[in-house]
Amino acid sequence: MSKYTDRGNIIRQQAKELVLEFMHENSECQPDSSGMKLAEIFRECGLNWGDYPKTTSSNQQYWVGAIVQELKSEGKVERVSESGPWRLL
């Protein structure tokens, strides 16, 4: 692996930890709560770079979508409904 791949892996792990920590501290994300929409998690975690041509804020949310899917595969979060909010398990 290159040093860039290694650094990217570290950044991805840190971003995943950030999202999980945020969810643990937010009442809407608790196991029996209503959950929180991905867009709000994205904004609240400070991952929005703002709107740019062909890279709008809504396009940037896909990265956080991948993070929550990874957390789901680890059994840490769940999606409340098929198109709905996310919460901790």
55 has which bridge partners? 52
User: What is the DSSP annotation of 10-46?
Assistant: HHHHHHHHHHHHHHHH-GGGSTTS--B-HHHHHHHTT
pTM: 0.92
Give just the sign of the alpha carbon dihedral 60, 63, 67, 70: positive
Confidence of residue 86 (pLDDT cuts 50, 70, 90): very high
Give the CATH number for residue 61: 1.10.10
Q: In whole angstroms, what is the distance from residue 59 CA to residue 4 CA?
A: 24
Q: What integer is the mean pLDDT of 2-14?
A: 97
Q: Which domain holds residue 45?
A: 3-88
pLDDT tens for residues 26-83? 999 999 999 999 999 999 999 999 999 999 999 999 999 999 999 999 999 999 999 8
Q: What integer is the mean pLDDT of 4-27?
A: 97
pLDDT at 1 over 90: no
As for how many domains the chain has, the answer is: 1
